[in-house]
């Protein structure tokens, strides 16, 4: 059995189903991301793993032990929340040690773990401060330190970086990943941010309406999306989906280029973003005539007038094909 095993997990709230019969497993030391839009069931799944929600049905096994109905304190895991969940009246040191004191861990052992955690997260000069005196990044490091001293083999993270600015979020992504590797932690990381999931995780579980839409290595979501939902969720800008007679054709914006002999198109908008320019177009001639709001990106700065005419192309090998009726990836027989 895997280190963490989730079998047929379901959570119902009155007349709605938040998590619908999902199953997956995680090996020890893996970093797994639960990814998806708001309302897809990812935080509810995490709360069931933590013991904060009771499953309507299904099983959760951690290290071959059934923890489905155990209270949070008996599950041998730690959790880092989006809001950090720090006690405002306690110092950094007291916040980090709070769980160990509650479990009556020996004081010498407490100090040993504290020194180790503080060295890892770089909070040595801030132990006496209260959370109100810290930046968002420092508060997140306190939450990480509290998780490290617990020495729990499984760490659950619920959108821990969403309150940080872009620059700090990028830095913390790298720090969390390095800590996870150095400590050998098994991490389940909830996020709606595909960049976080793609850059940090060993494996991604993409949820949609309470079900697993696709699971696998990050590159598989980009190279081989299994449904139109995955194709439209992963990538920035997302994959273009063109409805044809019998199927749906997918083509990523970065695989489209200008070519005077290509398909004629009309420019709707031109969005310069620094490293690239993203154009929104309607295809008006050729086999894809009528395809609207197609996006593609050009390297560098390009200024094209609205309603101007251009011609585009893309390599046939870059095309993805999906079933018109099911939205699933078409696999040739």
83 plus 184 within the same structural domain: yes
Q: Mean pLDDT over residues 104-115, rounded?
A: 91
- Domain limits for position 151: 4-223
Q: Where do runs of H (alpha helix) occur along the chain?
A: 42-50, 92-102, 107-121, 136-150, 166-183, 194-200, 218-223, 228-233
> Both 251 and 110 in a single domain?
no
Residue 290 lies in a domain: yes
**Mean pLDDT score of the chain:** 92
**For position 103, what pLDDT does the model report?**
87
pLDDT classification of 333: cutoffs 50, 70, 90: very low
pLDDT, position 1: 65
Q: Let me know if residue 328 belongs to a domain.
A: no
Total of domains in the chain: 2
pLDDT digit string (tens) for 144-196? 899 999 989 999 999 988 878 888 888 889 888 988 998 899 999 999 999 99
Instruction: Tell me what the mean pLDDT of segment 74-92 comes to.
Output: 88
Q: Helices in 203-289 by DSSP H: which ranges?
A: 218-223, 228-233
Q: What is the pLDDT of residue 136?
A: 84
pTM value is: 0.90
Residues 190 and 283 in one domain: no
For 217, what's the count of Cα atoms within 13 Å in the CB-facing half-sphere?
Answer: 4
Tokens of residue 163, six digits: 């309150």
Q: Is residue 332 part of a domain?
A: no
Percent of the chain with pLDDT over 90: 70
pLDDT for res 7: 96
Distances (CA, A) of 64 to 26, 27, 49: 12, 12, 14
Same structural domain, 266 and 148: no
136 or 247, which is more confident? 247
Longest dimension (CA), the chain: 76
* CATH number of residue 255's parent domain: 2.40.50.140
CATH number (domain holding residue 203): 3.40.50.300
């Amino acid at each position: 059995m895997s280190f963490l095993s989730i079998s047929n997990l379901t959570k119902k709230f009155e007349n709605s189903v938040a998590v619908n019969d999902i199953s997956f497993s995680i090996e020890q030391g893996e970093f797994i991301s639960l990814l998806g839009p708001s309302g897809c069931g990812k935080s509810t799944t995490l709360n069931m793993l933590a013991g904060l929600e009771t499953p309507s049905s299904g099983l959760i096994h951690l290290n071959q032990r059934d923890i489905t109905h155990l209270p949070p304190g008996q599950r041998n895991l730690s959790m880092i929340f989006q809001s950090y969940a720090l006690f405002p009246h306690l110092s950094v040191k007291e916040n980090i040690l709070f769980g160990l004191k509650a479990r009556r861990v020996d004081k010498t052992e407490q100090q040993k773990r504290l020194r180790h955690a503080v060295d890892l997260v770089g909070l040595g000069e801030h132990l006496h401060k209260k959370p109100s005196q810290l930046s968002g990044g420092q508060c997140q490091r306190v939450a990480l330190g509290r998780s490290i001293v617990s020495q729990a083999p499984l760490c659950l993270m619920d959108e821990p970086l969403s309150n940080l600015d872009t620059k700090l979020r990028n830095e913390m992504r790298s720090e969390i990943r390095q800590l996870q590797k150095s400590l050998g932690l098994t991490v389940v990381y909830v996020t709606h941010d595909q960049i976080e999931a793609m850059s940090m995780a060993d494996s991604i579980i993409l949820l949609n309406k309470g079900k697993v839409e696709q699971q696998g290595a990050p590159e598989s979501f980009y190279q081989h999306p299994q449904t139109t939902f995955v194709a439209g969720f992963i990538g920035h800008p997302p994959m273009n989906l063109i409805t044809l007679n019998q199927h749906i054709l997918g083509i990523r914006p970065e695989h489209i280029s200008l070519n005077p002999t290509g398909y004629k198109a009309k420019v709707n908008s031109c969005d310069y973003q620094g490293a690239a320019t993203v154009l929104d177009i309607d295809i008006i001639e050729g086999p894809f005539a009528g395809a609207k709001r197609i996006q593609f990106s050009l390297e560098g700065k390009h200024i094209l007038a609205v309603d101007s005419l251009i011609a585009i192309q893309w390599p046939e090998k870059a095309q993805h094909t999906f079933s018109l009726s099911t939205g699933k990836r078409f696999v040739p027989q």
